[in-house]
Structure 1
């Protein structure tokens, strides 16, 4: 270490932060100013990355969970030689810039996760550490550690107040993820007040109780002390490590140590005072000393050398273990071939959740990149990969995870697994609990991350568990989210389509919505046609329909039964299976018109849930058969009888709405 250059580098980060926030007239000053020494020490001395190859597979992963302090990350990326220029930093928080208000995955090279919603970055870091442990356990051999990297997270006091963080920390401790190191920016201040106004817990003791190795840095401005703590953390072989770094928010300001410096720019006079504190009074804005540029070049040199050593190791590994090496290479490069879904055979009258479980298990045998599980509902969700290990401390080879009853963190952790690369995270729970997960699902959609979310028990057919467990509005809620494919299959064939599309997706998460009760295998269902989101599953008996019934999931068989009743009365309708609104909306206008001819005005939707939104397909004068109320606790058959959700009622409702 070099105390003089260390301090100059830290002050450079602080000065860049000040200039960027002042120029943007917006942003968060406090966190980067206080945490600059810990961010600097990690990046300059420990982080294994190659700025010349930002996607190097065996690089260390870094997550700034306290994403509001984004200028800390942008300063580090620039100084370390990533493709982020001073011109980019000058565009902080401006339209289409590479330096948005919070870090955005896929927009800025070197950003491993989109963060800002507190706690989720921490949980995604746990997912990345799980991915590393799983791949290392599967592929590493004595003297061949081809998967060998750390996940580093910088979190703040606000992260630790979020439940998702505590859920993820508990699981990480239980799994003993020793390649996970979290630096806690403990500045004891939140946006509105001192931390003690809302939290006086001893977090170190809490984390220790959750199975973490805990360390503390008394002086967050002491780079040597931070260095020693990180060195100690890396020597821990059986636990994740939390390092509490006692920092001063807004260091260098007259407002330091208070919530007044948490966010927003400062006055011109205050900015001048801060520049004097950092030693940049006589320098132009966004100035980076040449000595700092040269000093930081060590990051790039270290990373390039580490990658070259790894490439040599990998080549020898491929020679020694050709079959295993080929699979690893395919996983790392996303070139593992998808299985042929036509070879997957599912027969019989099954609940779609059961069909999904069969598909999942068949897929994994040929496409072993799936890692995930359920929120303590694996037997109900059918999300367990059979005859494979569940992960446990020091045993990570199995693809199954006992997430426990931690739905929010389960979703965020699955995002981290997917973001890591080489693997696809998936989750399972009841559809009604998607509400717990919604923010993490939204993050997946924002990040263009193809995590797979399996939801079962999709309607009032849940029955005796009652209204708390019977989803009504959740399906529509998911459909309202941009950049997610929601797929509600009607039978075995459409279940196969759901999984095939989920695995094909490179930039969109998928929600697979499954039922609890058995449904028939429908004569007209078609796996290929279902890929378009909607298709004619049963044409009118006379091939000249005067009306259309659109249905999804288990209600498709109900619609076909209603079609038969109507035909007996001389009314001929077409039945459309529409498993995915999103996929149908992507089809050509010609295809959409073919399925839903504009001249056929008599339209009806059938879906056992909220009806809001179906107007776009049936029109304002169309009929929406659904349920816009909470349910009851009773056997499913009694509930269905109570609301008369039957083919006979559907046919009569159609006739009443569209008299002959």
Structure 2
């Protein structure tokens, strides 16, 4: 068979395979994979550098399917090129415990670089991946040694480009001149509700030109030569990110459902699938057929691509001999090891002072950054307020690729998504900062970071109504409990400067999901490390900060700025012959992971009188206070006034803690 016919047969195999998988699952999105099969062919057989036998090769090109609903396209090519995904896996598309989930999932399926599905996220993740490559290239590449020169390829849909996060990320990518980005915009004119002109008629190409992107327009996705030439043009454009707009036809090959919403998010139907197969010359009575010559064609393409890794390995060995210190540093970082003794650089704050935990966080960052080259980050235009500037380093920019301070602009949503992409480099430990209230703008990427169990660190300052005069709109109430309910999310609200330093230690060492630090705007007392239990116990999530003489009558627990209230209340209660134990509880989920014996040590079952104090929603605290306990929390929004007045108005005073604790102690005695 001549090569042209074999290529067409190979493309059509992917179309039929996608239709079969969605039909068997009785759910999914067949139309877009059928439309995009020619683009997938060009990417996996000609363009991308990858190795199915080593999906995590360091200098591989990254591929992102931002329109994750079209995942049968990706699964098909991963199977055909020899990744550890079988035809049986394809047949079990969307089934329980299958590795071919309804949307691509990182860590679940070999070859999937990032979990996508919520539209726009993959687009923004790619910007973070591109930043990571540029930073690593600047740090490690040397003359004749382009150790890191991989590109970021992505397919995005009309829906991706309607989502605001893609606009935020595209603007940032253009500003930074990320020429290692090559994105394909699949313009098929169809959404679930019908034609895109129901809600979307802008000139996307002009929009991206305005963002500073290199833009090409292809009228027909089936023109393979045009696709190949467009990619070559994009690869030569190194100073700007590239967008290649391709016109496709959803459900291509389906006689009755092509170019219609019916081909978008539902199976084509058995009769229509038969017609598709007949249209492409396949036996309509056979399902999941992959011709041997097609499989052989893509296996050969993959082996050819895998040679890039072999060449890279030889290059890297020469690099190690020429630049052993750089190679040693790189290998140490990617192994997950931290420099020996780095934690000794954490600052220790003396008691007697009052320090806002946001300030303590900034001091800590600057103390450890020299020893952790992989630690980079910035804020959403709030670095003076969040104290997240690394003072010894420059800003990352189009001209300064080794800068470690990032300016995300007022783009919280994109910041979270870009941080995810940076974290997926498996090299960087990225952090971002904004006010806790604006974590609401970041929920989608935070949730995805938790799903993927990747390490990004969020610095959320201005963590309570104590931020004061900015008032109701800026005073977080429900945000802490909202973040705590996200599986795999570690939320730490430190009690003082020393707990803040230890919170950074935990965040840096944590590898199983994102970490959120909730920090104060206002100054709070530094707890005396000689008089009370060491802040190093923060790693346990909760610990006895100060105990009573003899068995306690009541347990007081708190987080953050409220811990000093319960410490003072302990002294006042002692005057009334009420013995109180003070528990600092900066992180619920870390405490929940402790042994039953340790939990009993902190919260003995026989001590039922417990009072929790936190300037936020009381929801969730009942798990620790038990039925005989109470919570001083907030179940309404805040008010604009100086911090001291607002806190007093809402009952966060030593006097009120003593009053509530005394009442609880006296109950049923």
Contact conserved, 2:423 with 2:455, CA < 8 A, in 1? yes
The equivalent of 1:590 in structure 2 is 597
- Tell me whether 1:627 sits opposite 2:634 in the alignment: yes
Structure 2 counterpart of 1:275, from 277, 293, 306: 277
SS in 2 for 1:464: coil
Contact kept, 8 Å, 2:347 with 2:501, in 1: the verdict is no
1:230 equivalent in alignment to 2:231: yes
Question: Which residue of 2 is the match for residue 479 of structure 1?
Answer: 484
Whole-Å separation in 1 of the counterparts to 2:191 and 2:148: 38
- Corresponding position: 1:74 with 2:75: yes
Report what 1:553 is aligned to: 560
The match for 1:170 is 171
Quote the Cα distance in structure 2 between the aligned partners of 1:339 and 1:364.
13
1:536 aligned to which of 544, 554, 560: 544
Shift of 1:603: 0.5
**Partner Cα distance (2:600, 2:80) in 1:** 55
How far is the alpha carbon of 1:249 from its aligned partner?
0.7
Structural RMSD (CA): 1.4
Alignment partners' CA distance in 2, 1:388 and 1:425: 15
Q: Does 1:468 align with 2:473?
A: yes
SS of residue matched to 1:658: helix
Q: Does 1:421 align with 2:408?
A: no
Distance between the aligned counterparts of 2:17 and 2:358, measured in 1? 53
Find the aligned partners of 1:52 and 1:18 in 2 and give their Cα distance: 27
SS state of the match for residue 436, structure 1? helix
Distance 1:11 1:305 in 2: 27
1:408-452, CA deviations, whole angstroms, 9 ceiling, x for partnerless residues? 110010000001221112110000000000111000000111111
Mapped to 2, the partners of 1:607 and 1:539 lie a distance apart of 20
- CA displacement at 1:297 relative to structure 2: 2.0
Report 1:41-440 matches (<5 A): 41-253=42-254, 254-281=256-283, 284-337=286-339, 339-347=341-349, 348-440=353-445
8 Å CA contact 1:467–1:632 kept in 2: the answer is yes
- 1:314-368, CA deviations, whole angstroms, 9 ceiling, x for partnerless residues? 1111222221222122233333436532332232431111111111122211111
Partner of 2:502: 497
Instruction: Give, in whole Å, the separation in 1 of the partners of 2:391 and 2:526.
Output: 24
Deviation at 1:300, TM superposition (A): 2.2
Give the whole-Å Cα distance in 1 for the aligned partners of 2:331 and 2:301.
Answer: 26
Does the 8 A contact of 2:632 with 2:651 survive in 1?
A: no
TM-score, structure 2 normalization: 0.97
Q: What is the distance in 1 between the residues matched to 2:313 and 2:342?
A: 32
Classify the secondary structure of the residue corresponding to 1:531.
Answer: helix
**One of 449, 452, 464 as aligned partner of 2:454:** 449
Residue 12 of structure 1 pairs with residue 13 of structure 2: yes
CA distance in 1, matches of 2:202, 2:300: 39
Distance 1:480 1:390 in 2: 34
1:651–1:518 Cα change, 3 Å: same
* Partner residue of 2:526 out of 521, 524, 531: 521
Structure 1 window deviating more from structure 2 (420-429 vs 442-451): it is 420-429
Is the 1:51–1:303 Cα contact (8 Å) retained in structure 2? Answer: no
Q: How does 1:557-576 map to 2 (within 5 A)?
A: 557-576=564-583
TM-score scaled by length of structure 1: 0.98
Which residue of structure 1 aligns with residue 37 of structure 2?
36
Residue by residue, what CA displacement relative to the aligned partner does 1:343-397 show, whole Å, maximum 9, x if unpaired?
A: 3223243111111111112221111101221010011111121121111113211
Alpha-carbon distance in 2 for matches of 1:543, 1:533: 24
1:298 Cα shift?
3.2
Find the aligned partners of 1:401 and 1:173 in 2 and give their Cα distance: 15
Measured at CA, do residues 104 and 631 of structure 1 come closer, stay the same or move farther in structure 2, by a change above 3 Å? Answer: same
Contact 2:382–2:433 (Cα < 8 Å) also in 1 = yes
Equivalent residue of 2:377, what SS? strand
The answer (yes or no) to whether the contact 2:533–2:545 under 8 Å persists in 1 is yes
- The 3-state SS of whatever aligns with 1:500 is helix
Q: What CA distance in whole angstroms lies between the structure 2 residues aligned with 1:649 and 1:455?
A: 27
Kept in 2, the 8 Å contact 1:341–1:496? The answer is no
Structure 1 position 224, deviation (Å): 1.4
- Alpha carbons of 1:331 and 1:302: their partners in 2 closer, same or farther (altered >3 Å)? farther
Q: Name the CA distance, whole Å, in 1 between partners of 2:301 and 2:584.
A: 55
* C-alpha distance in structure 2 between counterparts of 1:366 and 1:533, whole Å: 26
CA distance in 1, matches of 2:45, 2:512: 32
**Structure 1 residues without counterparts, runs of 5 or longer:** none
**Would the alpha carbon gap of residues 311 and 589 (structure 1) be closer, same or farther in structure 2, given more than 3 Å must change?**
same
Deviations 1:612-632 (A, max 9, x none): 111111123311111111111
**What is the alpha-carbon distance in structure 2 between the residues aligned to residue 93 and residue 492 of structure 1?**
48
Q: 2:618 aligns with which of 599, 611, 614?
A: 611
* Distance in structure 1 (CA, Å) of the matches to 2:490 and 2:346: 22
Aligned residue for 1:468, secondary structure, equals helix
In structure 2, what is the Cα distance between the partners aligned to 1:526 and 1:176?
A: 47
- Given candidates 632, 650, 668, the residue that maps to 1:643 is 650
Q: Which runs of 5+ in 2 are unaligned?
A: none
Q: CA deviation at 1:68?
A: 0.4
CA distance in 2, matches of 1:611, 1:511: 19
